[in-house]
Amino acid sequence: MVFALAAGLTATSVVIGASDGSGGSGGGQGAARGVRPAAARYEQLSGDGLARQIGAMQTHLRGEPKDAESWAGLGSAYVEQARTSGDPTRYPQAEKAFARSLSLQPRDNDVALAGRASLAAARHDFRGALRDADQALKVNSYSQGALAVRVDALVELGRYQDAYKAAEKADSLRPGIPVFTRLGYVLELRGDPAGARRVLLRAQDSATSPSDIAYVSTALGQLAWNQGEYDTARRAYSTALRAVPGYLPALEGRGRTSVADGRQKAGIRDLEAVVRRYPLPAELAALGEAYEARGDRSLARRQYSVVGTWITLARANGVATDLDSALVAADHGEVREALKAARAEWDRRRTVHTADALAWALHRNGEDEKALEYAERAAGPGYRNAAFRYHRGVIEKSLGDDKSARRHLKAALDLNPGFSPTGARAAKAALKALGGAR
Amino acid sequence: MTAITKSLAALVSCALAAGGLTAAGVAVLQPGTAQASSHREAPLISGQPQYDATDVYAFVSPDKPDTTTMVVNVLPFQDPAGGPNFYKFAHDARYDLHVDNNGDGQGDLLFRWTFKDHLKNGDTFLYNTGPVNSLEDATLNFTQTYDLEVIKLKHQKAVARAKLGSDLPVAPSNVGKASMPDYQKLRDQAVRKIGYSGGSTAFAGQSDDPFFLDLRVFDLLYGGDMSEVGNDTLKGYNVQSMSLQVPTSALTESKDQPVIGVWATTHRQTADGDWTQVSRLGSPLVNEVVIPRKDKDKFNASAPWDDGQFLKFVQEPELPKLVEQIYKIKAPDTPRDDLVQAFLTGVPKLNQPPNVRPAEELRLNTSIPPTGSPKRLGVLDGDNAGFPNGRRLSDDVLDIALQAMEGELLGKKNDLGDAVDENDQKFGGSFPYLALPSSGSDAKAVSKSAGQSLLNGGSGIGSSSDDNMVLAGSAAAGGGAVLLLGLGFLWMRSRRRAPRMRRH
């Protein structure tokens, strides 16, 4: 099945979230009324109507180029826009805006420091993010942005206990959507999906803007999907899509859910729509695996080959392959490249995700003894993840530890039987080869 | 760059996924924009001004001088244009109005508003499904109600509680003439008598934002061109109001001690189900003009009792120094005891309670009778029934604060201001006094500001705007609270204009 080439290479096709829902009159003040607006206060930026808010701030800054706080606010708006749109060209602009703010006000500029922290996190420089967030908190211990980024950085550095403490503290000082969503994720990583659900429902109850509703509902969907609760997940994704029609993360979640519980056609339709707009390794692999499960090997291979091209491109430009690509490569591409990428990432940050990716890449390269060590590390903090359990079970089977292998393969399928259309199939086959779950 | 472009071109033309790569695809395919599923990029900006008190008013009711009216406003900059838009109070917040009636910096009474959302028809996400002629109409699909409670405190501990009202209706957002042909009627239905102290009245809902100022005064901080000020930048914007009129005797300590201090706080529910104070406001402009930027969040989380920590900002204010730099008007000598009185203790013989503990509260001497001809400059113009003795809707607090900053209370006459002297809408003669909210039908067509600019070197990412009113779209207006800039602001009315005649 071949789609017509997208005709317009329009910038609007970039928008992933943040449609201007009605009522989200971002940047409305002043700008809309033909007067030069005072700049938006950082705290009052919202995820909706960002383009207009940015326009208003730019207009203001053309008139008042010495306004340090507005430069920081503009930078934060750029970071948010990059997050919701996947447009990376906003990062250098954000960097310039923060630098400008800090040169105008080098001392006590917590807004610019918190903004710079969020930019570092977006670029996956989590140590830099932590450093800047801590600096911002020295100036203003109540900075919501800094408190939130601090949680992100600690999570991505694998410091889950510290992340939990940071999230609890952020919740007690500055409750709100940025903090609730992070606390929910930390709880899930600590193996407490019920707690995560409680917090995310609290966030959903508190969300008012379309972009926040879409984000929180999608997070609820992902949480439910991870526990194999497909009906709950589907309901959450449709809430997200009602708030922001076409919201890609929700579309992807809905697609994966449909594929997981046997509605292949609908699932593939959603995943194709995602990949058309956002051809990234994890999404391409999800679509490829759905094709494969349908028995369409050649279409599947085409998806995997785009991931391969991505990795080739990345290497040619001296960029380390990221974790997602490493996992896809381990399953569907160059296993050696996968191992290199996973090792590099593990050296940068020791998280459950990097441990699992390294374990899987080692196994695919025949190094099962070492692989097991990392698979066990991935299980350490208690995060309930079917793919992790499947990887571990397969590694144990290769090592001849049938009992453990059976236990973990069964646990994977019990938790989330459709965690991956191809992975689930392989898990069932391996379990059968081991004589079934006993 | 060309290498990348070439390989991207190769990529685009190579066997492709499910069709063509859009520009977005190409953008995200640029290496270096790694995305990892493990990294959940959650929202970083909250933009929820429904939790922030924007203004507090307290005055002896002009038409009922034995009562006192108090107003707390949240969620400013509600834009009726480009809508229909609707706005609501947070239902996971406690909106508190505190009354300190003995000057010890601690609340003795606390009025608490809590709100609930109601959806008549869950199958539709429309705010209203047809014309609304009454708050009871089935066509008003989304409504809010509120409970009002009074809590008596001793040493900051509750000693008695009473429900003053349950499930009282909130006046809706004015979404336009077609949907709400007679908005005044809806307003009137939302004004409720409550049985507190033998005759009180309550109102909550949308109103025209009574605050007036020219926001561009802030540009002064950066040496901006001030030749164009004099526009009320809040004109036509609405706000969510909570107001209450109660017998003065219920508020004051005694006949002999008629001075009360009031301030508003908002507590927001945490993920753990606790309540955290996220906003605090008494006198206007304090958090903008007096408190340094980096301490604003701290101020919002603090209590008047602890205001000693902010004393130095009042005694040694930044603003007059700035004015001196830009306008060569000499800053008054410090420490500024006159400002300590205006902002922290009340002014002796006007609104200072005995044995006062310095604390930021809006202090009102309830024994000063209201006047039939209020002066916009209040006390500075010899009208003691206005700011800084309490605050009436029509008080020009920006000019008053500015002139006080520059030493007016020290007898240093000046004539500073933003050239916006009154609200665009007339206030009512009886409770709740607030002007009706503007609707989309009143608003002029909005011209959206163009996205491309010198600053971003090209057009930004457009986002589609859809004007269907859905409930998810009840986002708070973003784009800037009223008082946004760190240190404050200043504007000198152009000396070339004929100076306003004023008696001192």
Q: Check CB contact of B1 with chain A, cutoff 8 Å.
A: no
Listed by number, the residues of chain A in 87-106 with a beta carbon closer than 8 Å to a beta carbon of chain B are: 87-89, 93
Q: Which residue of B has its CA nearest to A243?
A: B472
pLDDT tens-digit readout, B449-490: 222 222 222 222 222 222 222 333 222 322 222 222 222 223
Q: Check CB contact of B175 with chain A, cutoff 8 Å.
A: no
- For residue A168, the distance in angstroms to the closest alpha carbon of chain B comes to 9
Question: A193-206 and A210-226 helices cross at what angle (nearest 10)?
Answer: 160
Q: Check CB contact of A43 with chain B, cutoff 8 Å.
A: yes
* Yes or no, beta carbons of A6 and B278 under 8 Å apart: no
d(CA B29, CA A322): 12
Selected residue of B1, B2, B38, B44 to mutate for chain A interface (largest A Cβ count, 10 A): B44
More confident residue, A237 or B481: A237
Contact list in A for residue B87 (CB cut-off 8 A) is: 23
Q: Which residue of B has its CA nearest to A351?
A: B38
Q: Check CB contact of B30 with chain A, cutoff 8 Å.
A: yes
B224 has pLDDT over 70: no
High-pLDDT (> 70) share of chain B, %: 77
Q: Quick one: which of B133, B54, B138, B130 has its CA closest to B89?
A: B54
pLDDT tens-digit readout, B88-126: 999 999 999 999 999 999 999 999 999 999 998 877 778
Contact list in A for residue B86 (CB cut-off 8 A) is: 23
User: What is the number of other CB atoms lying within 10 angstroms of the CB of residue A300?
Assistant: 21
Q: Check CB contact of B122 with chain A, cutoff 8 Å.
A: no
Chain CA centroid to CA B246, Å = 22
* Yes or no, beta carbons of B298 and A141 under 8 Å apart: yes
- For residue A229, the distance in angstroms to the closest alpha carbon of chain B comes to 20
Quick one: pLDDT at residue B347?
Answer: 95
- For residue B430, the distance in angstroms to the closest alpha carbon of chain A comes to 30
B495 has pLDDT over 80: no
Q: Which residue of A has its CA nearest to B288?
A: A41
Residue B261, SS3 per DSSP: strand
**Mean of the per-residue pLDDT values for chain B?**
79
Contact list in B for residue A4 (CB cut-off 8 A) is: 19-20
Contact list in A for residue B79 (CB cut-off 8 A) is: 25, 28-29, 32
pLDDT tens-digit readout, A62-109: 888 888 999 999 999 999 888 877 677 788 999 999 999 999 999 999
* Yes or no, beta carbons of A175 and B467 under 8 Å apart: no
Contact list in B for residue A355 (CB cut-off 8 A) is: none
Listed by number, the residues of chain B in 317-356 with a beta carbon closer than 8 Å to a beta carbon of chain A are: none
Q: How far is CA A95 from CA A18, A79, A122, B285, in A?
A: 22, 9, 12, 32
Quick one: pLDDT at residue A414?
Answer: 97
**Mean of the per-residue pLDDT values for chain A?**
86
Closest by Cβ to B479, choosing from A26, A185, A287: A26
Q: Torsion-angle region of residue B195: left (phi > 0), alpha (psi -120 to 50) or beta?
A: beta
Q: Kindly report the length of chain B.
A: 504
High-pLDDT (> 90) share of chain B, %: 55
* Yes or no, beta carbons of B466 and A351 under 8 Å apart: no
Q: Are B87 and B206 in contact (CB under 8 A)?
A: yes
Parallel/antiparallel/unpaired status of strands B53-60 and B67-78: antiparallel
Contact list in B for residue A184 (CB cut-off 8 A) is: 271
* Yes or no, beta carbons of A5 and B19 under 8 Å apart: yes
A427 has pLDDT over 90: yes
Contact list in A for residue B470 (CB cut-off 8 A) is: 21-22, 210, 242-243
Quick one: pLDDT at residue B320?
Answer: 87
Q: Which residue of A has its CA nearest to B93?
A: A206
Q: Which residue of A has its CA nearest to B456?
A: A93
* Mean pLDDT lowest among A164-173, A263-272, B141-150, B279-288: B279-288
**Both tokens assigned to A403:** 């009992």
More confident residue, B6 or B134: B134
More confident residue, B125 or A131: A131
Closest by Cβ to B456, choosing from A93, A183, A324: A93
Quick one: pLDDT at residue B227?
Answer: 59
d(CA A303, CA A276): 11
Residue B321, SS3 per DSSP: helix
Q: Check CB contact of A314 with chain B, cutoff 8 Å.
A: yes
- For residue A438, the distance in angstroms to the closest alpha carbon of chain B comes to 33
Q: CA gyration radius for chain A?
A: 22
Closest by Cβ to B465, choosing from A13, A20, A54: A20
More confident residue, B120 or A315: B120
pLDDT tens-digit readout, B307-328: 999 999 999 998 888 878 777 7
High-pLDDT (> 70) share of chain A, %: 87
Q: Are B398 and B217 in contact (CB under 8 A)?
A: yes
A198 has pLDDT over 50: yes
**Both tokens assigned to B236:** 């036509």
Residue-wise over A12-37: b if at least 16 C-beta within 10 A, else e?
A: ebbbbbbbbbbbbbbbbbbbbbebbb
d(CA A250, CA A236): 8
Output the pTM of the full model: 0.86
Q: Which residue of A has its CA nearest to B90?
A: A206
* Yes or no, beta carbons of A88 and B32 under 8 Å apart: yes
Q: Quick one: which of B249, B245, B149, B144 has its CA closest to B202?
A: B245
Determine the average pLDDT of the residues in A13-24. Answer: 26
Q: Check CB contact of B481 with chain A, cutoff 8 Å.
A: yes
* Yes or no, beta carbons of B448 and A32 under 8 Å apart: yes
Q: Check CB contact of B297 with chain A, cutoff 8 Å.
A: yes
CA atoms within 13 A on the CB side of B304: 32
- For residue B484, the distance in angstroms to the closest alpha carbon of chain A comes to 5
- For residue A400, the distance in angstroms to the closest alpha carbon of chain B comes to 30
DSSP secondary-structure letter at B205? E
Secondary element (H or E) of residue B147: strand B142-154
Q: Are A220 and A236 in contact (CB under 8 A)?
A: yes
- For residue B354, the distance in angstroms to the closest alpha carbon of chain A comes to 34
For residue B164, the cross-strand partners are none
Q: Which residue of A has its CA nearest to B41?
A: A83
Q: Quick one: which of A141, A152, A220 has its CA closest to B298?
A: A141
Q: Quick one: which of A80, A17, A71 has its CA closest to A46?
A: A80
Q: Which residue of B has its CA nearest to A82?
A: B461
Quick one: pLDDT at residue A38?
Answer: 35
Q: Are A360 and A346 in contact (CB under 8 A)?
A: no
For residue B244, the cross-strand partners are B70, B202
Beta strands per DSSP E along B185-294: 192-194, 200-208, 238-247, 259-269, 275-281
Quick one: pLDDT at residue A297?
Answer: 93
- For residue A434, the distance in angstroms to the closest alpha carbon of chain B comes to 31
B44 has pLDDT over 60: yes
Contact list in A for residue B268 (CB cut-off 8 A) is: 175-176
Quick one: pLDDT at residue A51?
Answer: 86
**Both tokens assigned to B134:** 């009454």
* Mean pLDDT lowest among A202-206, A236-240, B356-360, B500-504: B500-504
* Yes or no, beta carbons of A48 and B21 under 8 Å apart: no
* Yes or no, beta carbons of A11 and B468 under 8 Å apart: no
d(CA A58, CA B455): 6
Q: Annotate chain A with three-state secondary structure.
A: CCCCCCCCCCHHHHCCCCCECCCCCCCCCCHHHCCCCCCCCHHHCCCCCHHHHHHHHHHHHHHCCCCHHHHHHHHHHHHHHHHHHCCCCHHHHHHHHHHHHHHHCCCCCHHHHHHHHHHHHHCCCHHHHHHHHHHHHHHCCCCHHHHHHHHHHHHHCCCHHHHHHHHHHHHHHCCCHHHHHHHHHHHHHCCCHHHHHHHHHHHHHHCCCHHHHHHHHHHHHHHHHHCCCHHHHHHHHHHHHHHCCCCHHHHHHHHHHHHHCCCHHHHHHHHHHHHHHCCCHHHHHHHHHHHHHCCCHHHHHHHHHHHHHHHHHHHHCCCCCCHHHHHHHHHHCCHHHHHHHHHHHHHHCCCHHHHHHHHHHHHHCCCHHHHHHHHHHHHCCCCCCHHHHHHHHHHHHHCCCHHHHHHHHHHHHHHCCCCCHHHHHHHHHHHHHCCCCC
Q: Quick one: which of A101, A47, A93 has its CA closest to A73?
A: A101
Determine the average pLDDT of the residues in A413-419. Answer: 97
Which of the four pLDDT bands, split at 50, 70 and 90, describes residue A317?
low
For residue B53, the cross-strand partners are B74
Q: Which residue of A has its CA nearest to B91?
A: A206
For residue B243, the cross-strand partners are B71, B203
- For residue B341, the distance in angstroms to the closest alpha carbon of chain A comes to 28
Q: Check CB contact of A385 with chain B, cutoff 8 Å.
A: no
Q: Check CB contact of A141 with chain B, cutoff 8 Å.
A: yes
Query: Is the bond leading into B84 cis (omega within 30 degrees of zero)?
Result: yes
B10 has pLDDT over 90: no
d(CA B313, CA B289): 10
Burial class (CB in 10 A: 0-12, 13-18, 19+), A325: buried
d(CA A420, CA A284): 13
Selected residue of A9, A14, A29 to mutate for chain B interface (largest B Cβ count, 10 A): A29
